[in-house]
Amino acid sequence: MLSLILGLGIFIAVFYCIITEKVPGAWATMLGGLAMSMVGIFNEEQALHAVASRLEILFLLIGMMIIVHLISETGVFQWFAITLAKFVRGEPFLLIVFLAIVTAVCSAFLDNVTTILLMAPISILLAGELKLNPFPFVITEIMAANIGGTATLIGDPTQLIIGHESGLGFNEFLFNTSPVAIISMVILLANVYFIYGKDFHVSTELKARIMEMNPSRSLKDKKLLREAGTIFALVILGFVLNNFINKGLAIISLSGAFLLVTIAKRKPADIFKHVEWDTLFFFIGLFMMVLGIEKINVIDMVSDKMIAVTKGNFEFATMSIMTLSALFTSVIGNVANAATVSKIIDVMAPTFKGVHTDALWWALSFGSCLGGNISILGSATNVVAVGVAGKSGCKIDFVKFLKFGALIAIQTLVVAGIYLKLRYM
């Protein structure tokens, strides 16, 4: 009983610190994990095993971070955004549509936090050139990043956790979650049009200013772009073919990253300082905390309760997983939700016989990724984007985000629920 009280107390305290931003997320989860060990919930060997068993996630992230950083050095993201603006001749809604699609596609195959860091400033710049409120541009890209991250195994850190725990591969995610991501993008853009379309009026003079922008000035290193683009394409091809070549996503990612830095002749110190170590340590601490929650039997208790409530009703269980995941994500973030609920699914899945239990994992995926749009706390992408927007003079507070984000999340989750029912039940 004492371990249960201490474990839950530490868990709640950590997420209170994260939600209120009193302590950086990486420090909070690391302190929480170490505190659980210090009070005897688990020992050092068990803590190290909890991290070691998930090294694929960490190494995959490191490899992709390095590749994305080198791609970003070329200026190709900025070039693409300006080129799109010229392509649509400065028409605001078409500009938002194309920027959102680019953000979603990039988020499906790159780190969505990095994508939003690159795309948000460009969108704010373009909105400023057109003398428009940048909020619809920024909030649409945030939603698009979270939706795009739903489409693939590598699109969002939550997907990596779900993939690791479920044993589902890159192609399984692509074929099962991407249809919902595509439909969700249509829903998002339709809402943007009906809610903000009336405000998208721009003079001919302002459109002409967009047409005068020169995208080629954004390209800083064409040689590096060719090298990085080729290796990135090979890495993605490796992910798709991994079921056949069986090399492992982490090995493919790291191989591409270190081949690229060797070809580009970068020094280790210059590369490693751009790795998002705070994200990696956030995960390490989180993995230890999830172990602690397992050790005090919270996951077993919740699982038993859900099994009792659902009473063998697989459809009810699947919808419950998705709904609860979305609600939890809006408070504790999608990464923490995925890491915790995946353990519950591990216990629940064997109790169902003769059904497509993978649907439980897709429900968790939709609840975590699409539910990440509900509040600023839903994902790291939201927090980063709001910070970038604030520095550029576009303040997005919690309530303002919630009003639009919850609207999009509810609609996309309803569609996801219908999709789950039609395809798997």
Tell me: the pLDDT tens digits for 114-144? Answer: 678 778 877 887 888 788 889 999 999 999 9
Share of the chain above pLDDT 70, in %: 99
Q: DSSP character for 270?
A: H
Mean pLDDT taken over the chain = 88
Per the structure block, which two tokens stand in for 196?
Answer: 């903000």
Is the pLDDT higher at 283 or at 111?
A: 283
Share of the chain above pLDDT 90, in %: 40
Q: Binning pLDDT at 50, 70 and 90, where does residue 301 land?
A: confident
Q: Is 313 helix (H, G, I), strand (E, B) or coil?
A: coil
Per the structure block, which two tokens stand in for 316?
Answer: 């009810």
Q: Give the residue-averaged pLDDT of 144-166.
A: 90
Q: What's the length of the chain? A: 425
Lookup result for tokens 């602690």 = 292
Q: Is residue 244 pLDDT above 90, yes or no?
A: no
Q: DSSP character for 132?
A: -
How far, in Å, CA of 152 to CA of 235, rounded?
14
Q: DSSP character for 218?
A: G
| pLDDT value, residue 32 | 94
Q: Binning pLDDT at 50, 70 and 90, where does residue 369 land?
A: very high
273-308 burial, b for 16+ CB within 10 Å, e for fewer?
A: ebbbeebbbbbbbbbbbbbbbbbbebbeebbeebbe
Q: How far is CA 313 from CA 194, 357, 422, in A?
A: 38, 12, 16
Q: Is residue 160 pLDDT above 70, yes or no?
A: yes
